[in-house]
Amino acid sequence: MAAQPSKLKLWGGRFTGKTDPLMQMYNESLSYDKRMFAQDILGSQAYAKATCKAGILTTEERDTIISGLERVRQEWASGTFVIHPEIDEDIHTANERRLGEIIGTHIAGKLHTGRSRNDQVATDMRLWLRDELNEIEGYLIEFLRATVERAEEQIDALLPGYTHVQRAQPIRWSHWLMSHAFMFLSDLERLRELKKRVNKSPLGCGALAGNPFNLDREFLAKELGFDGCIQNSLIGVADRDFVVETLQWATLMMNHVSRWSEDLIIYSTAEFGFVTLADAYSTGSSLMPQKKNSDSLELLRGKSGRVFGQMAGFLYTVKGLPSSYNKDLQEDKEPLFDCVTTVQNSLQIATGVVATLTIYPEKMKAALTMDMLATDLADYLVRKGVPFRETHHISGACVREAEKRKLSGIDQLGLDVLQSIDERFGEDVLEVFDFERSVELRSSTGGTCKASVIKQIEELTKVLQRAPNGVVEN
């Protein structure tokens, strides 16, 4: 007697021998792709509507399938779905098997007409990723808003700006915050572009050659909220550029998280003492009771390497594949799933860190040294008409003289010594030795003066208030 269809693998008709148990384990993906259960059911419900529209299903069969699939969805959602490991290779097989048990295999077996797991899995992944990217976008916006809020509140704090990890010129703490905010703003813009390419429908492409039942793919795309159809069936089932691009986007975004974390790790050391993380985002030492470690930031820095590895690994998987679908593409899910989870968690942790850390403006100010105003001293002479290349040399001579005299800074040289180095120094040169003045002189667009930083905050806030479609949110 022939085996019942519900007990057969979807591809089992061609084969008579048993599958090696190790091969069965090696081949299955349900253990991780079951997270797409809702998207798989949504796609199947839409497909039932389209096959009815094409005359394959009656309206009664369509409605029976749709209601049966809703029961399957509820079982997954409630945790009562029973997996049959010997049959359920993946989420598609599991859902179809269970649907047959609920409504009967005769009607359930019609659902797969003209459809392949090749276009089904591609559809599920795009639907799932679309939902997850929307969540990521929300988390990224929350992080940016928390950063902007802190920049507004603490705009008066000054600290050293660094190049080559050496103190360079004074800047506002808010200017530092906004420098990272604009990197993350670029990530937000790239994410919104990525979402457009993810949101294309492959459903109806079949195994590779298309659908032979005059299926209305545009109807399917609209039903599932896609922006349109992928126009070639071969690429529809084989394209994983949307996965690669997501991993690439995440790699760059997490690289920005890592650089942001590195700065804060340095600033939180006892040697700097500019910031302290809240206890909620710190840990202690198992040996040294005095330690307060910035483990949240170190983990964020470390997770960036994890995401990069996922991107590099999957890109290497797809680089030599022949056309159309190949089973290698099953390797797309685990790195993508893990990457999405990592990014979502990381953005929430980063938001918590920036919203709750404490800054120490006096320690920041104490780290400012007068040698950081050497460029301001050169600029003083530039304003008197001296070429900058000459003033740079003169200012350097002043720094050298202060070091020679073992003075704490060039401001300690006094007017007489400064004029002995260059007679064009006037009494007003002493006004140069003011950190607030130095910061306020950087008043061009993008500079660190208060008005410029406020403008940066305003510009970024406008973008955050604007939804992807250009509508301004309340």
Residue 10 binned pLDDT confidence (cut-offs 50, 70, 90): low
Cβ within 8 Å of residue 121, ≥6 positions away: 33, 90, 92
Angle between helices 241-267 and 295-318 (to 10 degrees): 160
CB 143 within 8 A of CB 44: no
Q: What are the φ/ψ torsions at residue 471 (nearest 5 degrees)?
A: -75, 135
Q: Would you call 306 helix, strand, or coil by DSSP?
A: helix
- Res 186 pLDDT > 80: yes
CATH architecture of 371-433: Orthogonal Bundle (1.10)
Banded model confidence at residue 246, pLDDT cuts 50, 70, 90 = very high
Question: Could you give the CA distance from residue 66 to residue 61 in angstroms, rounded to a whole number?
Answer: 9
Q: What is the reported pLDDT for 24?
A: 78
Q: Which residue has the tokens 């208060």?
A: 450
Could you tell me if residue 141 is left (phi over 0), alpha (psi between -120 and 50 degrees) or otherwise beta?
A: alpha
Res. 473: pLDDT tops 80: no
Least reliable range by pLDDT among 142-151, 248-257, 386-395: 386-395
**Strand (E) or helix (H) holding 312:** helix 295-318
Read off the pLDDT of residues 119-178 as tens digits, 9 standing for 90 and up. Answer: 999 999 999 999 999 999 999 999 999 999 999 999 999 999 999 999 999 999 999 999
Bridge-based pairing of strands 275-276 and 358-359 is antiparallel
pLDDT of residue 6: 47
- Beta strand spans in 173-238 (E): none
Q: pLDDT by residue (tens digit) across 332-354?
A: 999 999 999 999 999 999 999 99
Residue 301 has a pLDDT of 97
Which three-class secondary structure state does DSSP give residue 215? coil
pLDDT of residue 20: 76
Lowest mean pLDDT among 364-373, 431-440, 457-466: 457-466
What gap in Å lies between CA 192 and CA 140, rounded to an integer?
A: 12
Kindly indicate the confidence band of residue 26, based on its pLDDT and cuts at 50, 70 and 90: confident
CA-based radius of gyration for the chain:
31
Tell me the pTM. 0.90
| Mean pLDDT score, 202-222 | 96
pLDDT digits (tens, 9 = 90+) for 89-119: 999 999 999 999 999 999 999 999 999 999 9
How many CA atoms within 13 Å lie on the side-chain side of 303? 24
pLDDT given for residue 470 in this prediction:
47
* Angle in degrees, CA 300, 304, 308, rounded to 5: 165
Query: How far is residue 149's CA from residue 351's CA, in Å, rounded to a whole number?
Result: 11
**What is the homologous superfamily of the domain 20-113 according to CATH?**
Fumarase/aspartase (N-terminal domain) (1.10.275.10)
Higher pLDDT, 408 or 359: 359
Q: What is the pLDDT of residue 472?
A: 46
pLDDT at 3 over 70: no
122-136, 275-289, 305-319: range with lowest mean pLDDT? 275-289
Instruction: Using the predicted structure, report yes or no on whether residue 208 has a pLDDT greater than 80.
Output: yes
User: pLDDT at residue 401 above 60?
Assistant: yes
Tell me how long the chain is.
474
Q: What residues act catalytically?
A: 164, 285
Lowest model confidence (mean pLDDT) among 4-13, 37-46, 69-78, 380-389 = 4-13
Percent share of the chain, pLDDT over 70: 93
Phi first, then psi, for residue 203 (nearest 5°) are -65, 130
Bigger pLDDT: 207 or 26? Answer: 207
Give the pLDDT confidence score for residue 11 in this predicted structure.
45
As a whole number, mean pLDDT of residues 410-421 equals 93
| φ/ψ (deg, to 5) at 134 | -60, -40
* Three-state secondary-structure class, residue 191: helix
Domain ranges of the chain: 20-113, 118-211+227-366, 371-433
Indicate left, alpha or beta for 121 from its phi (over 0: left) and psi (-120 to 50: alpha): alpha
- Average pLDDT value over all residues in the chain: 92
Share of the chain above pLDDT 90, in %: 88
Q: What pLDDT is attached to residue 290? A: 59
| Residues 144-161: tens digit of each pLDDT | 999 999 999 999 999 999
Q: CA 219 to CA 54: how far, in whole Å?
A: 11
Pick the CATH number of 118-211+227-366 from 3.20.20.100, 1.10.560.10, 1.20.200.10, 1.10.8.100: 1.20.200.10
Token look-up 């299955």 returns 28
CA 431 to chain centre: 46
Residue 25 has pLDDT above 80, yes or no: no
**Hey, which residues does 403 pair with through a beta bridge?**
none
- pLDDT the model gives residue 15: 47
